[in-house]
Structure 1
């Protein structure tokens, strides 16, 4: 039996039972259902009010986010879903990794916390020190980690 065009169209437009889940690395203590929003002080750079919030589709990039956050609290990796449009993170994709291999994105719309990774592997202390030294050197040269 052939379906009508209106039936096909409504099926195509319907929400998929699966959506892309992204990672957000931080040291903030969040709960399921919380929203990560702009307007709070950034965990990076001069800790200015965040104009964007960031997420990634790769665990490695989220681990770096957690490890490099300035807050002294425990490192965390949250599973988040964007509530609005996202765009490539120009701080990485245009300057460091053309083509966005880190799958890093930013948005002005909140991210909903839908889970937390309980077990994940961080980088070695040597790798973290090297990265933090690089961030400090860039800061001395007047280069901010995040430019809006």
Structure 2
């Protein structure tokens, strides 16, 4: 059983320029686990995708708030939760399919697929009219000289 060693939470408006802020904030927090550059880039990419989904899909043509929370555990695991109170996802199974998008033609429909490929676990919960919560977990590998 792992124990939580630290946690953080930030809340910001669903403006596209806040995506980089969220990505950097989580990366700075995750640095406490001494990740490799590749591991930190994986985390940044997954956070970017999750936050972008909130901006593009959850709030579409309106502003709302996005909350990003992260917890660090003593076994090197980081759990990141990205939550919105937007329109919700009608069919999570369909939304997780590669190439499916509710965005415009310029969207690739690969957000959940990318999150899954860069993180160890991905859980999506959503209710229409209530919002969506994406929980991502990644274990940071201990290197020589560390516990």
Task: Using structure 2 for the length normalisation, give the TM-score.
Answer: 0.24
> Which structure would you say has the larger Rg?
1
Q: Which has the higher strand share?
A: 2
From the two aligned structures, give the one with the greater helix fraction.
2
